[in-house]
Chain A
Amino acid sequence: MILPLGVLAALALARYRGPGKGALETLLSLPLVLPPTAVGLVLLEALGRRSPLGGWLASHGLEVVFTWKAVVLAMAVMSFPLLVRSARTAFEEVDPRLVGLARTLGCGPLAAFRRVTLPLAWRGLLAGVVLAFSRALGEFGATVMIAGNIPGRTQTLALAIFHDNQLGRDDRALVLAGVTTALAFVALWTAEWFTRRRSRRIAA
């Protein structure tokens, strides 16, 4: 879900050379260093029914806080910086002269992006997605603040493990930890497999 947005932000950061670039970058990276509970609290305050934004959303029938949407939002905000950072590096590594050449060969800016920039930045993008996914998988603090821990509704794997452990159901917690491990393993392995296949082709 955050992929298109993250790619756009990364592109903007890679190309934009104006004032405020540093501040914007820092702002985007802030969730990386803040305690997740602090981020969760800010989100909660911003989207709760008493806040103007939350009230407006509620009046349009959109309840965010303590629903699954809050889970998604918390994960997105927390993993966004990781995606943006690696996507940006990936874009910066694409030689801008190759993009220029694609233009002289008749490609518009969008076509040049699709046919040259994207394929060349693909590995970095994938790495960013995997990183972001792992971060989302492990997300705990912000989620528990804004979405609560409602079994069957807003309980994520990470929350459930903590929950079961607190209730003394360690066997269930262990099974869930195993599921998490399997998910993470498959994600990382797939990413690794993609990048290896690609680099072999380019170096061949």
Chain B
Amino acid sequence: MVEANRCIQYLYGSRKLSILFDGKRQFEREFEIFTDTSFADNLESRRSSQGWLMKLYGGPIAWNASRQGTVTTSSTEAELLGLSFAAKETMAVARLFSGLRFHLDQQLIIWCDNKQTIRLVSTELQRLRTALRHVDIHQCWVRQEVQKGTIKVEYIQTSNMTADGLTKILPKASFKTFIQQLGLVERVQIKSSE
């Protein structure tokens, strides 16, 4: 209860923080997806946390932070599950875009901060030997989509990984950079009735 109140307090204190799309923001790609996983961070069930975030023209449009449904035995497996989850969401959004006749010039890129996972889904021969069948299926599916060219998985450093804050509770300093990365801006010019 104390914790919930604390969160509401924070929300009130930062109520002017908002997502800004002003057309002036600098961004490298029109549409990008970030995915991150925190391995076995739940001490009771030992399940991992996953998070993904989509950015359109430098501003976040969709995000999710959740706990994975199954226990995994390595961080690579956890990352694979998260990646596959994010890839599915990405394809759903891509379908929505084409339904709206909104065409992106660039290829869909998913940023991931685990090199091992990227290698597993991007190269032909490497394959994770896992005893977990449900993880294996995800791996094969992501690999299939990468080979078809629907999506592309690329590496990004953890410091530039926006989805990092969706998988772990950050200390104050990195929380500030997280807010900057998200593109949340304190609004001041807009008249408010508060």
Q: Do A and B originate from a single complex?
A: no
